[in-house]
Amino acid sequence: MSERHFDMAVIGAGSGGLTAAAAAAQFGCKVVLFERGDMGGECLNSGCVPSKALLAVAKQAHAMRTGADFGIRPVEPEVDFAAVRAYVQRAIAAIAPHDGQERFEKLGVTVVRSAARFRDPRTLEAGGERFTARRVVISTGSSPALPPVPGLEDVPYLTNETLFQNAELPRHLLVLGAGPIGLEMAQAHRRLGSAVTVVEARLPLAQADPELSAVLLEKLAAEGIEIMTGRAAVRAVRDGGGIRLELEGGGILAGSHLLVAAGRRPNLEGLGLEAAGIAFTARGITVDRGLRTTNRRVYAVGDVAGGRFTHEAAYQAGLVIRNALFGLPVTARSDMPQVTYTDPELAQAGMTEAEARARHGGAVKVLRFAFSGNDRALTEGRTEGLVKVVTGRRGRILGAGIVGPGAGELIQPWVLALERGLGISAMATPVLPYPTRGEAGRRAAVNYFQDFASNSLVRRVIWAVSKLRP
């Protein structure tokens, strides 16, 4: 069997793989990209894109029900679920060409629509051919993890990989898991007309700041979503045409559909990692701070290396390009900004208050500004939520969290501030257009100086200056 030689081989055409392949090709490298499934990976086909499209549809339905405060007679929307599915598929189709095979072949990438497997530390096999490359990037992503619930494999269940092919609007959707995916899809289906019950063995949004997540959870409850906290499912059983969940401590839930949103597992199967001398665990491929595996020619990025986000995979792929092509030293960050795309949204950049206090103790100062004091929020009738900023010594910004409409957009200046190591004064001084929700962030920053303004020494200085000036 003959071998084909390349400068870089990329396994997986998700966010990280596509970023690495496109960049390497544009720098003149000879690149081969392996993908056995759909180009664009999980994010395009069954994750970020379809979920946000479904949330957009649900937001329209919710607006029809909730216009009374604006003088608009509320009406119950008639949901054509086949048309809803068509809208979601159109959103995918609109973005797909950017991730498609044709575009990458025009960039000079050789695209092999087959799974790749290591035969030895230097050789890959795919589609009946063998390939060698100076550098290899593994970006195979992750798949839904199934919790250890007896009977689960014997009942019909949905995951994010199958949810958007579901042909009917669930009458009563049961959701296992109250993380971002579970709560986003719970709200989307509730707004489209489904009854929804979420079962969470621990805490909803366990990694979020509890002060911020409480605002979101209250809103979900007000919309009629039942979230059962600290209630693990101990058995799943078919119930006629539906599903029944038996809960720890007693209690039974019956629903028409079941969505499993209880975490992810890295896609390691079939890669032949042992043959390549690549170490891995159940959590993913082992990499160093520069994203290299135990095989120095091979890198791993994204979910398969323990990541969690689409933007994280793309960021890591950029680091790999810097190191593999230019020999520059790189160190991957793990503190990624994140957004839960419910309504209201929940966004976080940098440390939460609990994380900051654990690391910096008494030096932490927490700044808040509620949207109830923001004029734009008042004009829109959406005053729930707040901006919460955590600072350290001398006003160093340690983290920022926002819960409210558009939080995913409003967090972005704070991401920049953290990236550039800016102090809180940099966020307090800009002149912002009025009225905007962004002013709430500036007002939170201004609160840092409240103690300074009331300081007795400062007041004496002001008094002295006023006496000395003509």
Over the stretch 353-381, which tens digit does the pLDDT of each residue have? 999 999 999 899 999 999 999 999 999 99
**26 and 85 within one domain:** yes
Instruction: Decide if 5 contacts 132 (C-beta within 8 A).
Output: yes
pLDDT value for 453: 63
Average pLDDT across the chain, whole number: 95
pLDDT value for 334: 86
**198 and 94 within one domain:** no
> In which residue are the tokens 């790189």 written?
330
Helix crossing, 310-326 with 15-26: angle to 10°?
Answer: 30
Question: Tens digit of pLDDT for each residue in 267-300?
Answer: 999 999 999 999 999 999 999 999 999 999 999 9
**110 and 13 within one domain:** yes
Residue ranges making up the domain that contains 444? 344-454
Mean pLDDT of 186-208: 97
Instruction: Decide if 440 contacts 371 (C-beta within 8 A).
Output: yes
Residue 106 forms part of a structural domain? yes
**127 and 16 within one domain:** yes
Residue 71 forms part of a structural domain? yes
Q: pLDDT above 90 covers what percent of the chain?
A: 93
Give the model's confidence band at 249: pLDDT under 50 very low, under 70 low, under 90 confident, else very high. confident
Give the model's confidence band at 241: pLDDT under 50 very low, under 70 low, under 90 confident, else very high. confident
Give the model's confidence band at 462: pLDDT under 50 very low, under 70 low, under 90 confident, else very high. low
**446 and 349 within one domain:** yes
Give the model's confidence band at 240: pLDDT under 50 very low, under 70 low, under 90 confident, else very high. confident
Please, which residues have CB within 8 angstroms of residue 147's CB and are 6 or more apart in sequence? 176, 177, 201, 233, 260, 262, 263
pLDDT value for 467: 65
Question: Tens digit of pLDDT for each residue in 113-168?
Answer: 999 999 999 999 999 999 999 999 999 999 999 999 999 999 999 999 999 999 99
**101 and 80 within one domain:** yes
**165 and 49 within one domain:** no
Q: Give the ranges where 79-156 is alpha helix by DSSP (H).
A: 81-99, 101-106
Q: pLDDT above 70 covers what percent of the chain?
A: 96
**50 and 169 within one domain:** no
Alpha carbons 64 and 78: distance in angstroms, whole number: 10
What burial class does residue 170 get, using C-beta atoms within 10 Å of its C-beta: 0-12 exposed, 13-18 middle, 19+ buried? buried
Domain containing residue 176: CATH number: 3.50.50.60
How does DSSP classify residue 449?
Answer: G
**59 and 38 within one domain:** yes
372-385 burial: b if 16+ Cβ within 10 Å, else e? eebebbeeeebbbb
Q: How far is CA 344 from CA 37, 80, 176, 219, in A?
A: 34, 25, 21, 8
Q: What is the pTM of this model?
A: 0.94
Biggest CA–CA distance in the chain, Å, is: 93
Q: How many domains does the chain have?
A: 3
**138 and 15 within one domain:** yes
**What Rg do the C-alpha atoms of the chain give, in angstroms?**
25
What burial class does residue 33 get, using C-beta atoms within 10 Å of its C-beta: 0-12 exposed, 13-18 middle, 19+ buried? buried
Residue 463 forms part of a structural domain? no
Residue 311 forms part of a structural domain? yes
**368 and 258 within one domain:** no
- Please say if the pLDDT value at position 236 is more than 80: yes
